[in-house]
């Protein structure tokens, strides 16, 4: 039992040492965390300083045998207070940043935070339960009794264990990233999104409408998601906190990113706390706008787990990617997305919709008229989507190099040869060369879009994907992915229109 108690003290001492040092290095953050946990200002300020000192005192007391029991009592009291505070806020539906380890780590409280503190409380309770006079090994005495060879062996063993832990972590991280990359490549080929195939997806699903918000900036002016999208550029929301050490360390880089990429991405920082608390860093590094949420309501709407994190919203108001967590992931996201064709405005954008009206948005609105796409067919003739008005149209996004398209090709040809009654006409948008597309042997209209820019207009992120545009040029829904879903959509449309006469288009 002595070894068990020794290990228990060691675990608690390390945890409280890291927590105390982390908070001391960010006292303002520690004080703000107290305010976020609903403490009044006159208590938050002194307790934000007292807490890390108390944690360090507990860590020190746990080391000598003589004071270990009292150190365990102090740890248990602090942990119980943490548990009460976390439970109270979670009960109210609030999830403030815990600031548990100060500059080293900060995230919103949740079930995992509560469980961690409960486990530590059980460990502290174990030590307290054995009483102050229980014979146990002293950390100091045990190390002091080692001879030279044993001391060297201990140091060597610690180094080996540390290297093994680090190596294991790197290996697991590499395997996780390779797994995610493989899943995403498969998703692109199958026309599905990462949310359909990966359990590692963080945040809202790609393609889902981004939650709207109206938040005050540092001057008190309300800013909405719609106003950010008015520039016609993708919007990157960066979730930060003035009590988050890694967030504050990222501020210089964030200012540089805004300067370098501000012509391609509209940045907005979503933080919390008072305007004064956020203004210093924002002003120093030219970061704007900084929007203030009351608690974590916007972060929760976007399913953001920790700070700093970022997500990109496309110009049509839909989620473009999973949430990037941490400075390195945010930097990689910016580099990837600024060179990604999906974020660039497609060339030769249709300025009017199929009804001849000016486009209100470059992206196809669900329930609204489709952009009047104009592309060359295999003979070089320019074909417009408006030429297909009067009958429902199945727009299929295709690629001769897509294996899933080739698997679908025989069924597509059979469907073309014997279309059901009421079948929609086909409007196939494909990349690749004219020669490659001629070899496909498709009878229907095939239009060439080398850059796949038109697919992006309609929310198609892969091939094969398809959507229905009704007889009046109205986009009925988001595109579906895969052969089965496309033919289900085509047959459902045929069944619907077999029972009715197509209505003439209204111009």
Nearest CA-CA partner of 404 in 342, 486, 468, 477: 486
The phi and psi torsions of 447 (rounded to 5 degrees) equal: -115, 145
Rounded to an integer, the average pLDDT of 30-48 is 80
Element (H, E) at 293: strand 290-293
Nearest CA-CA partner of 494 in 394, 356, 379, 352: 394
CA distances from 35 to 141, 243, 278, 295, 340 (A): 42, 11, 15, 11, 41
| % the chain with pLDDT above 90 | 24
More confident: 208 or 348: 208
More confident: 248 or 424: 424
Rounded to an integer, the average pLDDT of 258-271 is 86
Q: Residue 371 is encoded by which pair of tokens?
A: 């952009």
pLDDT confidence of residue 441: 92
pTM of the full structure: 0.40
CA distances from 390 to 317, 355, 425 (A): 30, 12, 10
Alpha carbon distance 458, 470 (integer Å): 14
More confident: 181 or 354: 354
Question: Which class is 374-498 in CATH?
Answer: alpha beta
Q: Report the CATH architecture of 214-343.
A: 3-Layer(aba) Sandwich (3.40)
Provide the CA 111 distance to its chain's centre, in angstroms.
Answer: 19
More confident: 453 or 356: 356
More confident: 43 or 451: 43
pLDDT in tens, 93-144: 677 777 788 777 766 787 888 898 899 999 888 888 877 765 454 555 555 5
Give the other-Cβ count within 10 Å of 168's Cβ.
10
pLDDT in tens, 280-301: 888 888 898 999 998 889 999 9
| Cβ-Cβ contacts under 8 Å for 414 (sequence gap 6 or more) | none
Q: Where is average pLDDT lowest: 131-140, 392-401, 443-452?
A: 131-140
Asked if the domains 214-343 and 374-498 are classified in one and the same CATH topology, the answer is yes
Residues in the chain: 507
- The domain locations on the chain are 2-145, 214-343, 374-498
């Amino acid at each position: 039992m002595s070894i068990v108690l020794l290990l228990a003290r060691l675990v608690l001492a390390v945890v409280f040492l890291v927590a105390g040092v982390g908070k001391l290095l960010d006292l303002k953050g520690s004080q703000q965390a107290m305010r976020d946990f609903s403490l009044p200002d006159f208590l938050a300020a002194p307790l934000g300083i007292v807490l890390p000192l108390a944690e360090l005192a507990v860590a020190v007391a746990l080391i000598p045998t003589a004071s270990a029991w009292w150190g365990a009592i102090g740890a248990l009291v602090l942990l119980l207070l943490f548990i009460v505070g976390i439970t109270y806020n979670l009960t109210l539906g609030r999830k403030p940043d815990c600031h548990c380890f100060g500059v080293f780590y900060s995230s919103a409280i949740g079930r995992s935070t509560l469980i961690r503190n409960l486990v530590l409380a059980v460990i502290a309770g174990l030590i307290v339960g054995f009483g102050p006079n229980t014979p146990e090994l002293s950390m100091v005495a045990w190390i002091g009794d080692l001879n030279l060879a044993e001391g060297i062996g201990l140091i060597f063993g610690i180094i080996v264990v540390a290297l093994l832990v680090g190596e294991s972590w790197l290996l697991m991280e590499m395997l996780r990233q390779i797994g995610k990359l493989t899943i995403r490549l498969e998703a692109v080929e199958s026309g599905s999104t990462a949310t359909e195939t990966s359990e590692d997806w963080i945040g809202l699903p790609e393609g889902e409408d981004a939650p709207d918000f109206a938040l005050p900036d540092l001057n008190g002016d309300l800013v909405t998601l719609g106003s950010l999208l008015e520039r016609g550029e993708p919007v990157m929301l960066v979730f930060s906190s003035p009590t988050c050490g890694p967030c504050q360390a990222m501020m210089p880089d964030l200012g540089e990113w805004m300067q370098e990429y501000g012509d391609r991405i509209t940045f907005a920082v979503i933080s919390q706390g008072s305007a004064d608390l956020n203004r210093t860093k924002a002003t120093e590094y030219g970061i704007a706008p900084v929007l203030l949420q009351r608690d974590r309501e916007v972060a929760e709407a976007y399913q953001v787990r920790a700070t700093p994190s970022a997500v990109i919203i496309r110009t049509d108001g839909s989620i473009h990617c999973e949430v990037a967590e941490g400075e390195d992931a945010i930097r990689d996201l910016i580099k990837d997305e600024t060179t990604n064709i999906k974020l660039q405005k497609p060339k030769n954008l249709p300025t009017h919709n199929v009804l001849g009206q000016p486009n209100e948005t470059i992206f196809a609105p669900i329930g609204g008229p489709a952009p009047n796409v104009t592309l060359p067919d295999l003979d070089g003739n320019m074909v417009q989507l408006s030429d297909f008005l009067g009958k429902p149209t199945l727009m299929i996004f295709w690629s001769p190099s897509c294996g899933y398209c080739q698997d679908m090709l025989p069924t597509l040809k059979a469907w073309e040869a014997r279309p059901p009654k009421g079948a929609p006409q086909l409007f196939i948008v494909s990349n690749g060369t004219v020669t490659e597309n001629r070899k496909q042997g498709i009878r229907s209209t095939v239009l060439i879009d080398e850059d796949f820019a038109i697919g992006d207009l309609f929310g198609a992120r892969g091939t094969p994907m398809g959507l229905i545009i009704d007889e009046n040029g109205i986009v009925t829904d988001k595109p579906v992915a895969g052969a089965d879903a496309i033919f289900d959509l085509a047959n459902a449309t045929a069944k619907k229109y077999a029972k009715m006469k197509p209505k003439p288009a209204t111009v």
